[in-house]
Amino acid sequence: MKLVARPDELELLKGKLEGKQAPAFDLPVLAGDAPGSTEKLKGKPFLVEFWATWCSACRSTHERLGAFQKKYAGKINVVAISDEEAPEIMAYVKQAKPGFTVLQEKAKTTQQPWLVSAIPEIAVVDKDGKVQFVTIGAGSYLEEALAAAEKLIKIG
Quick check: 13 pLDDT over 70? yes
Quick check: 6 pLDDT over 80? no
Question: Considering Cα of 103, then 108, then 112, then 118, what sign does the dihedral take?
Answer: positive
Q: Which residues contact 118 (CB under 8 A, 6 or more apart)?
A: 9, 136, 137
Cis before residue 120, ω within 30 degrees of 0?
Answer: yes
125: left (phi over 0), alpha (psi -120 to 50) or beta: beta
Mean pLDDT of 112-121: 95
Quick check: 10 pLDDT over 90? no
Tens digits of per-residue pLDDT, 55-109? Answer: 999 999 999 999 999 999 999 999 999 999 999 999 999 999 999 999 999 888 9
